[in-house]
């Protein structure tokens, strides 16, 4: 059975994300095996909610359920305007939440998205 791919969403400063990358880089340089970073860090809760609006979350869920789709077919299945779906797809792809694949289809490569919101951040 293939391992599940999980994306972790974090709220924090860009410096924290850079610190994680630097630590992994140092471990790689030392010859250690390092797992790929599967973390998306956003600066605050409003930014997270803007990225994962209800419409965008429905888009992700539809892709996960139905598999790779063209943007046109995705918009049709969601009952949304093509232009708006296209914009959402572009933004979600920029952040690594969805992927462009063969034949101009988009898909979700994650089995789970985990978010932790710390109150002391």
Which pairing describes strands 6-11 and 69-70: parallel, antiparallel, or unpaired? unpaired
Output b/e per residue, 51-83; b: 16+ Cβ within 10 A: bbeeebeebbeebbeeebbebeebbeebeeeee
Mean pLDDT (whole number) for 105-117:
87
The segment(s) of the chain belonging to CATH 1.10.10.10 are: 52-108
- pTM: predicted TM-score of the whole model, two decimal places: 0.77
Residues 45-92: pLDDT tens digits? 899 999 999 999 999 999 999 999 999 999 999 999 999 999 999 999
Mean pLDDT (whole number) for 20-48:
83
Pick the CATH number of 52-108 from 1.10.10.10, 3.90.420.10, 1.10.357.10, 3.40.50.620: 1.10.10.10
Q: What is the C-alpha separation between 59 and 63, in angstroms, rounded? A: 6
């Amino acid at each position: 059975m293939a391992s599940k791919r999980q994306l972790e969403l974090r709220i924090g400063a860009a410096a924290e994300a850079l610190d994680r990358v630097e630590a992994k880089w140092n471990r790689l340089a030392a010859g250690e095996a390092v797992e790929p970073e599967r973390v998306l860090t956003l600066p605050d809760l409003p930014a997270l909610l803007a990225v994962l609006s209800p419409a965008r979350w429905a888009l992700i869920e539809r892709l996960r359920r139905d598999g790779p789709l063209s943007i046109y077919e995705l918009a049709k299945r969601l009952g949304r305007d093509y232009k708006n779906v296209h914009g959402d797809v572009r933004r979600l792809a920029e952040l690594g939440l969805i992927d462009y694949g063969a034949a101009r289809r988009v898909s979700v490569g994650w089995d789970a998205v985990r978010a932790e919101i710390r109150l002391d951040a």
